Structure 1
Amino acid sequence: MEPPRTATVVVDDGTPIAYHCWEPDAGADAHPVPVVLQHGFTAHTMVDWLDPGTVAGLTAAGRRVVGVDARGHGRSGKSPDAARYGERRMATDLLTVVNVLDVPAFDLVGYSMGAVIALLAAATPAAVRRLVVGGVGAGIVEVGGVDTRTLPNGRLARAFLAEEPDDLPPEAAGMRAFAEMLGDDLPSLAAQARAVHRDGIDLAAITAETLVIAGDADPLAVRPHVLAEAIAGARLRLVAGGHDVIGSSPDFRSAIIEFLSR
């Protein structure tokens, strides 16, 4: 693919937020509504959306695509201060990027942490036409955000700051190893882990046509039907796999593209 046009907007607290833009493929029937993508925890736009082929599938379908790097991730600003994090703060960042795009409406896709961000954004008066949330389930309704019952946020924060990572629980060790492989800023990730959203989301305020999608063996997205039933008119799609379906499942990618192309 052609490299994206990458830009940065400085939001109200002084944090630079990077976003990456791809235009529809030459010859494709261009769609007027852009697709905004929000990645998951420890990842960034390129890892979650470009490398697995989701961006390519969307641009081939005529969509303009914008991927937002959440604060503390990718090319966006970093800080070890937990007070500067949380998915509600990240939703404000995302909406600031959308305001810069100056579009009347947009489709929004988020995964895991990004799904929480997307739900919070869609619960505002923002002009979200269609919404896709993946990698989350009943925890959104029952816990108020990412399911910390499966992976407690305090344990995760300590894992990113541990001097002896060999002694970490397996699930936390895996997330730290992934973050280190990507060259992530570990203190920033620890700060976000401490600030994870637990205050609930006004799902009744979401008016966008919504798809909830999850791996059928994803421990962080158990009982996704509970979330789908809490959003008016939402559809549910299960694909084979765990929390890695965002990068490993062609069915995951095709379900998103099909839903947004209806």
Structure 2
Amino acid sequence: MPKFEIDGVEISYLDEGDGDPILLIHGFASNKSINWEYPGWVDLLVKDGRRVIALDNRGHGESSKFYDPEAYGAPVMAEDARRLLDHLGLNSVDVMGYSMGARISAFLALNHPDRVKRVIFGGLGYGMVSGVGDPEPIASALEAERLQDIADRTGRAFRAFAEQTKSDRLALAACMRSSRQKISETDVARIGSTVLIAVGTKDDIAGSPQKLADLIGNARVLEIPGRDHMVAVGDKVYKQGVLDFLNDELA
């Protein structure tokens, strides 16, 4: 996979297909392959006539790892995404982020509105504003010596996922302690892009998608039936809804 480096940060990315570009930003403890290639998103969007760009966020995948929480944060990672667009010479793109990636996408749309045409927030609703829980049990679980020693259910699930993806657990712990910046209702209302909010009906992490949509001037909700936070990303309803959104000339 190609990489680029700026200010001592190396970012790995993929760039496939031709046509209107879309930038994909993965969720916490995932990477561009797990979040977007394996569930078929890259192939789907390329076949739909799009140029697909997906990056490994810092601390994840093949990108640079850091162990100080100050090196992370969704606004910081949004700047990595913006720099990738600069590197590729892309002025304006569609963007889709999942979970943490949706939060990063929101900061990208807020801080660089001219760079984001349409944006899809997957796996994150009003939790973007209210927060999605205490990060410390997850960070502590990632730092624990053994999976079987972890009592917290959510922390145990993220630890197991990090092991499955062969991630750097200490880098993820640092990221977890800094990546969940809330965005105020006032700032969310400033997002000028057309927005699709796609959340599983059994997702107990994301928060209400409709409550988030009500804050944004041009937003619609896509409910992903019967899916929770972890499995909604590959769902066929999610995929078709995104294609419909991207191909809607009014969106």
Question: TM-score w.r.t. structure 1 length?
Answer: 0.89
Give the C-alpha shift of residue 200 in structure 1: 2.0
**Alpha-carbon offset, residue 88 of structure 1:** 1.0
Q: Return the letter of the residue paired with 1:42.
A: A
Among 121, 145, 156, the residue aligned to 2:138: 156
Query: Is the Cα contact below 8 Å between 2:68 and 2:174 reproduced in 1?
Result: yes
Equivalent position of 1:142 in the other structure: 130
1:123: Cα distance to partner?
0.7
Please state how far the C-alpha of 1:199 moved relative to its aligned partner.
4.3
Which residue in 1 is equivalent to 2:174?
191
Distance in 1, Cα, partners of 2:181 & 2:33: 27
- Show the counterpart of 1:206: 191
Letter paired with 1:123: L
Q: Is the Cα contact below 8 Å between 2:129 and 2:182 reproduced in 1?
A: no
- Note the residue ranges of structure 2 that are not aligned, 5 or more in a row: none
The CA distance in 2 between the partners of 1:258 and 1:50, in whole Å, is 20
Task: Name stretches of at least 5 consecutive residues in structure 1 with no aligned partner.
Answer: 1-5, 25-30
What is the TM-score of this pair, normalised by structure 2? 0.92
| Separation in structure 2 between the aligned mates of residue 162 and residue 114 of structure 1, nearest angstrom | 25
Counterpart of 1:108 in structure 2: which amino acid? V
Alignment of 1:205-224 (within 5 A): 205-224=190-209
Q: Does 198-207 or 188-197 show the bigger shift?
A: 198-207
- Tell me which of 115, 120, 123 is aligned to 1:132: 120
Equivalent residues in 2 for 1:66-145 (5 A)? 66-125=53-112, 126-143=114-131
Give the residue type in structure 2 aligned to 1:205: R
Task: Report the counterpart of residue 154 of structure 2 in structure 1.
Answer: 171
C-alpha distance in structure 2 between counterparts of 1:200 and 1:131, whole Å: 16
Equivalent residue number for residue 251 of structure 1: 237
Task: Classify the secondary structure of the residue corresponding to 1:206.
Answer: coil
Pairwise CA distance, 1:246: 4.0
Question: Cα offset for 1:222?
Answer: 2.4
Partner of 1:260: 246
1:21 matched to 2:3? The reply is: no
Instruction: Return 60-69 or 78-87, whichever deviates more.
Output: 78-87
> Structure 2: how far apart are the matches of 1:252 and 1:96?
28
- C-alpha distance in 2, partners of 1:248/1:134? 11
Equivalence for 1:234: 219
Q: Is the 8 A contact 1:124 1:205 kept in 2?
A: no
1:111 shift after superposition: 0.3
Query: Distance in 2 between the 1:19 and 1:81 partners?
Result: 23
**RMSD of aligned residue pairs (Cα, Å):** 1.4
4+ aligned runs moved over 4 Å, structure 1? none
Structure-2 separation of matches of 1:164 and 1:130? 42
Deviation at 1:104, TM superposition (A): 2.9
In structure 1, what is the Cα distance between the partners aligned to 2:219 and 2:165? 34
Change (3 A) 1:199 1:220: closer
Q: What is the percentage of aligned positions where both structures have the same residue?
A: 33
SS in 2 for 1:52: coil
Q: 1:187 to 1:235 in 2, by over 3 A?
A: same
Give the total of aligned pairs.
243
